[in-house]
Amino acid sequence: MGFRRTFRNIAIIVIPLIVLAAIGFYFPNPNNLAVYVTAAGVVVSVITYFYQREQLKSRTLLEVFKDFNLPSHREARRITYAEEEESDASYELLGIRPPTTTEEREVRLKDLKRVSENIVRGDLNNAGTLIWHGLMDESVFLDEYWWIILRIWDKSKDSIEERRHSGTGALSYMRNFKELNSKAEKYARKHFPKDFEEYVKKYRSDAIDRASKYFDVILKHMKEKDEQG
């Protein structure tokens, strides 16, 4: 991944220089100085554009990393996908008053999970939006967060799809998060095949079993229908 980025940056500089050298080779006449100057200006402009774009993507990535590592955001992810009990610190980090009674806990726990899920979904949808518009380095982000992306999507997809089909016009709700999940899955399959296989076994086996049983029922029904026909 680092090699590809280095190669790309070198190519950004070298290719325009090759073009400039080719112009000098095919148009050696000193009277063509204006052509050289113009070409040199184009080369500098191209190099500057791509350099600034790479700098912007790197700065954006650092800002996203900074947000993702805020204590409240880390706790929100833990509450959303981890099978652990919340603590008073969980409520405090997310700006919710800790419950003092059993009755309060039931209500506050729902609030805690709702706030946590909104934070992590929003974080990942924003990251997907930045990647979609070419404003953030995609490969570095996926390399660091593919597992979290898949885990949050698997925990949130039902409520997201429900919101999309709720008749409120929110058909594109979390669209970039969904696209980011697809990218993360492809990235994990390619770069972390063993880890991805373990992930599927641990977190998606129930879903696969349900889907398999569902299709078995459909096939059985179709077979019975054919026999009756």
Instruction: Give the pLDDT mean for 56-82.
Output: 92
Instruction: Give the pLDDT mean for 146-159.
Output: 94
User: 209: which 2 tokens?
Assistant: 């079993």
User: Residue 168 carries which DSSP code?
Assistant: S
CA–CA separation, 128 and 130 (whole Å): 5
Q: What is the pLDDT of residue 214?
A: 43
User: Residue 171 carries which DSSP code?
Assistant: T
Place of tokens 């096939």: 219
CA distances from 168 to 76, 114, 162 (A): 27, 19, 11
HSE-up of residue 80 (Cα within 13 Å, Cβ side): 28
Q: What is the pLDDT of residue 168?
A: 83
Instruction: Give the pLDDT mean for 134-154.
Output: 95
Give, rounded to a whole angstrom, the gap between the first and last alpha carbons of the chain: 58
Place of tokens 């909104």: 118
Q: What is the pLDDT of residue 212?
A: 46
pLDDT digits (tens, 9 = 90+) for 91-102: 999 999 999 898
pLDDT digits (tens, 9 = 90+) for 6-42: 555 555 556 666 665 665 665 565 555 565 556 666 6
Q: What is the mean pLDDT of the chain?
A: 81
CA–CA separation, 133 and 158 (whole Å): 26
How much of the chain, in percent, has pLDDT values that exceed 90? 50
Q: pTM (2 decimals)?
A: 0.71
Query: Are residues 33 and 105 in contact, defined by beta-carbon separation less than 8 angstroms?
Result: no
Q: What is the pLDDT of residue 18?
A: 65
Instruction: Give the pLDDT mean for 191-203.
Output: 95
Q: Is the pLDDT assigned to residue 153 strictly greater than 90?
A: yes
Q: What is the pLDDT of residue 103?
A: 87
Name the residue among 135, 118, 120, 127 with its Cα closest to residue 179.
Answer: 127
- How many residues comprise the chain? 229
User: 218: which 2 tokens?
Assistant: 């459909």
